[in-house]
Chain A
């Protein structure tokens, strides 16, 4: 299925450089160039063998150097699904990255793209009403980016005041901070040695 889509796209729009990525576990995807996304979407929606009449979700993922936007397209008539992935290079923590909006093709894109904008700072070119949707209008930063830092005050109120944070968690976090580089702690916080604990547990299972 993914290979068919990629071949078809390469034939019609060579500039999209479609590339099918099949995987053994999980969900595969078709990777395309961001600049061609709108024409690719149009083609997939309106061409019969694919007939992608539903946009299920727009899911953004933040990486160190780029933001990937995954579009889950589905055809409810053919009962098929395909993930289209585009990758947008990132410049700074608060900078927006840009891609074409597909609101004109699927009305579902309206809310989905607004959420992606709100959470990851992806600006959708041509969106009719690109506002924040889950966070307040005057919120700063994009919460689902990995380098996001919560603002200290919001409209004169302190965000996460010390006395309201669960004190046990707070002290625990302080302890962890003193011991490790928090960003490097990649497993559950308990346990002293990262590797040893893991292997022991594996042997036990």
Chain B
């Protein structure tokens, strides 16, 4: 930007041939391109200001806050139960997992015991939500890269999960299903049976989808060796979830700090392999999510086998007052680790609720990976970290 094209032309007038002159002049400036906030590839209202040298990104600066509602401030003005609908609205594609972390933190402070059946239901519903969320990723990521039909397949299956959730909780997306002390509604036997049937068909479908998209040579060409986030970078930025696991680092909070029933369940931590390119590229992150869905289905099957009859709500006082103190509790959500830092002054409303969002952390990595990528590859990279702007901006 420092030198104008005119200046360069003057300087090189004698040394360059007439044909080389315009080419040289073109190199002189970086073009500033505004991507978003209403751009289909940014998955919501993210704005990224990119400076490009022809088609290569030289610099990317994300601007956040277009969906900022300051739900942390809202939370200070409602009672502990009233916070749950607010946290639903953060990651609207994985609302169940958003509730789970909050509810766990409050229960831990209160010392409430959650009935066994409620725990089973929580794991079943939580893992179904993970599958639904990853399916959404699968569909929209394929759209980002120019393939439309996988989106329709993904939504067909996601719709089945949403219908089940609608029967369970009365809502399709924002459930308010996890309550402090248990879950709001019990599942019937026929519902559980349908979940089991769904697991069977889903396992088959996932294999089909993977062969349709993941093994497709165009897809591999667009994602392998693109947007590499290695382990060191992930740790520096505090990345978690599929982004960290995609880099080959095995960390899953369900194993590292087991909550709910996870210590009793048998499943594997999925990590990236670098099978199609470099370890930690976009294809690895895609692959981790696809294989994670199989693990989720495995967990659901074990829970369906173990679930027993019983109450679904524990004993909780009508007005919840947390003892004075603070707690930091994180859980493994589809997009990474979600942490709640709740500070209580002993009153019936939280003194402070701070949310540690994994998407927010991951957006911070964009300026680091962007330089040197083609604009189209940058789109593929944004898609592969799977951000939900509701959670980024809160």
Taking Cβ atoms with an 8 Å cutoff, the residues of A that contact B are 23, 25-27, 29, 53-57, 59-62, 70, 72, 76, 79, 81, 83, 106-108, 110-111, 115, 119, 132-136, 143-144, 186-188, 197-198, 201-202, 204-205
24 CB-based A-B contacts, threshold 8 Å: A25-B109, A25-B111, A25-B327, A26-B323, A27-B327, A54-B238, A57-B328, A59-B328, A72-B339, A72-B341, A106-B236, A106-B238, A107-B368, A108-B238, A110-B364, A111-B364, A136-B65, A143-B70, A186-B348, A187-B347, A187-B349, A188-B348, A202-B317, A205-B315
CA distance A183 to B297 in the complex (A): 48
Given contacts A83-B328, A187-B79, contact A108 B70 (CB under 8 A): no
Cβ–Cβ contact A205 & B363, under 8 A: no
Q: How many A-B residue pairs have CB under 8 A?
A: 123
> Which one of B24-32, B148-156, B158-166, B354-362 contacts A?
B354-362
Cβ–Cβ contact A135 & B325, under 8 A: no
Taking Cβ atoms with an 8 Å cutoff, the residues of B that contact A are 64-65, 68, 70, 72-73, 78-79, 82, 108-109, 111, 235-238, 244, 249, 251, 256-257, 315-319, 323, 325-330, 337, 339, 341, 343, 347-349, 351-352, 354, 356, 360-361, 363-364, 368, 393-394
For B235, give the chain A residue with the smallest CB separation: A53
User: When the two chains form the complex, which single residue of A62, A111, A201 contacts B318, counting CB atoms closer than 8 Å?
Assistant: A201
- B residues in contact with A23, CB < 8 Å: 325
For A186, give the chain B residue with the smallest CB separation: B347
CA distance A81 to B242 in the complex (A): 20
CA distance A38 to B394 in the complex (A): 29
- B residues in contact with A29, CB < 8 Å: 326
- B residues in contact with A106, CB < 8 Å: 236-238
Cβ–Cβ contact B251 & A205, under 8 A: no
Of the candidates A53, A134, A188, A198, the one having the most CB atoms from chain B within 10 angstroms of its own CB is A134
Cβ–Cβ contact A188 & B319, under 8 A: yes
CA distance A60 to B319 in the complex (A): 27
Cβ–Cβ contact B341 & A187, under 8 A: no
Cβ–Cβ contact A134 & B363, under 8 A: no
A17 to chain B, nearest CB (A): 21
- A residues in contact with B323, CB < 8 Å: 25-26
Given contacts A27-B326, A70-B341, A76-B249, contact A57 B317 (CB under 8 A): no
- A residues in contact with B82, CB < 8 Å: 188
CA distance A74 to B278 in the complex (A): 27
Given contacts A72-B339, A108-B237, A134-B65, contact A202 B326 (CB under 8 A): no
CA distance A103 to B232 in the complex (A): 15
CA distance A124 to B104 in the complex (A): 32
- B residues in contact with A115, CB < 8 Å: 360
CA distance A143 to B73 in the complex (A): 7
For A81, give the chain B residue with the smallest CB separation: B328
Cβ–Cβ contact A134 & B235, under 8 A: no
A198 to chain B, nearest CB (A): 5
For A185, give the chain B residue with the smallest CB separation: B349
B93 to chain A, nearest CB (A): 20
Given pairs A26-B323, A57-B328, 8 additional interface contacts (CB within 8 A): A25-B111, A59-B328, A59-B356, A72-B356, A83-B328, A108-B364, A134-B65, A187-B319
Given contacts A61-B351, A201-B317, A205-B316, contact A108 B341 (CB under 8 A): no
Given contacts A57-B339, A70-B341, A144-B73, contact A133 B349 (CB under 8 A): no
CA distance A186 to B79 in the complex (A): 9
Cβ–Cβ contact A108 & B317, under 8 A: no
- A residues in contact with B352, CB < 8 Å: 59, 61-62, 144
CA distance A49 to B221 in the complex (A): 43
A76 to chain B, nearest CB (A): 5
User: When the two chains form the complex, which single residue of B236, B249, B325 contacts A108, counting CB atoms closer than 8 Å?
Assistant: B236
- A residues in contact with B244, CB < 8 Å: 76
B193 to chain A, nearest CB (A): 35
A142 to chain B, nearest CB (A): 11
